[in-house]
Amino acid sequence: MTKKKVGLIGAGAIGTVLAEAITRKLVICDELVVFDVEGSKAEKLRDSFKFPIKTVSDIDELLATKPTVIVEAAGQGAVREYYPKLTASGAEVIIMSTGALLDLQLTPKVHFPAGAIGGLDALSAATNAGINEVTLTSRKNPKALGKTNTQEALIYEGPAEEAAKLFPREMNVAATLALTAKPAKIQVRVISDPQVIRNTHEIMVKWRYGEMQLKFANQPHPDNPHTSALAAWATIRLLQNLLNPASTTII
């Protein structure tokens, strides 16, 4: 039987949640292979778990292990740098830093999770009939946006593509919506609010046969305030589906 291996690019907060899910057998695989440009971070993750974890020194060494699925959790820069090699590897590839995908050609083996939101199945379905308008309002604590304002402030208003570039760690959700609703355009408002504790995303959709209103209020990841904890668990769900498609159902 062919071994199921997971390759992980990035050994930060999200990578640690993924390793924990594998250790708890929420994700069934035989080995986890980890690459981080800071080798000490990969080694620290390896030493934190009893599950078989192998660390490698570069992307070529990771690809040489022939992972079944590769998960990117290292940022948009890593996606742009490694994307040609990842897509040529033959592995299924999960991209978390979806902002980078806006300028790249998607292939059938490239996947992206819902991240900090949901309802992408409904949004995708509505694109077939015709979408008139999509707006995303994201409200985060200044700390999560790298700001220091003491009063509520609108810090960005404009297209999703620009939001993902200006806030590469914080607004991948905008890119995820843009990729899902293509060719419809997404208008984004980013609010820095010192009164909020949770990362909140409100999505308003007007389409040919009605309207959708979606709201998500997520706890920031305790080790990385720039991302929501839900983003890691959405990736775990997608990983479950790719490794064991017969035993899971996409909801």
31-66 CB burial, b ≥16 within 10 A, e <16: bbbbbbbeeebbeebbeeeebebbbbeebeebbeee
pLDDT for the residue numbered 221: 78
Asked, for residue 159, whether it belongs to a domain, the answer is yes
Tell me the whole-structure pTM to 2 decimals.
0.93
Q: For residue 2, name the pLDDT band (cuts at 50, 70, 90).
A: confident
Closest among 232, 135, 233 to 178, alpha carbons compared:
135
Give the C-alpha separation, 110 to 234, whole Å: 15
* 17 and 94, same domain (yes or no): yes
Position 173 in a domain: yes
Q: Is 55 inside a domain boundary? A: yes
**Predicted confidence (pLDDT) per residue in 181-229, tens digit:** 999 999 999 999 999 999 999 999 999 999 999 999 999 877 787 788 8
Judge whether 251 lies within some domain: no
Structure tokens at 191: 């609010």
Judgement on whether residues 94 and 131 belong to the same structural domain of the protein = no
Does residue 248 surpass a pLDDT of 80? no
Alpha helices, DSSP H, located in the chain = 13-23, 39-47, 59-64, 76-88, 120-129, 142-145, 160-166, 172-181, 229-243
* CATH number where 10 lies: 3.40.50.720
Instruction: Fill in the amino acid letter for 27.
Output: V
Banded model confidence at residue 247, pLDDT cuts 50, 70, 90:
low
Whether residue 18 is found in the same domain as residue 107? yes
Asked, for residue 81, whether it belongs to a domain, the answer is: yes
- State the chain's mean pLDDT as an integer: 94
Give 62-83 pLDDT, tens digit per residue: 999 999 999 999 999 999 999 9
Q: Is residue 187 part of a domain?
A: yes
- Residue 249 covered by a domain: no
Same-domain status, 208 and 124: yes
190: domain range?
Answer: 120-218
Q: How far apart are CA 39 and CA 46, in angstroms?
A: 11
pLDDT value of position 184: 94
Could you identify the residue written with the tokens 């994201």? 138
Where residue 186 sits, what CATH number does that domain have?
A: 3.30.360.10
Q: Is the CB of residue 87 less than 8 Å from the CB of residue 111? A: no
In a domain, 248, yes or no: no
The whole-number pLDDT of residue 251 equals 39
Q: Which residue has the tokens 């979806």?
A: 98
What is the C-alpha R_g of the chain?
18
Q: If you average pLDDT over residues 51-57, what whole number do you get?
A: 95
Nearest to 98 by CA among 82, 118, 80: 80
* Spatial distance between the Cα atoms of 51 and 144, rounded to a whole number of angstroms: 32
Residues 17 and 39 in one domain: yes
Domain count of the fold of the chain:
2
Catalytic center residues? 201
Q: Are residues 99 and 36 in the same domain?
A: yes
Mark whether 161 and 214 lie in a shared domain: yes
71 and 169 fall within a common domain: no
* Same domain for 83 and 15: yes
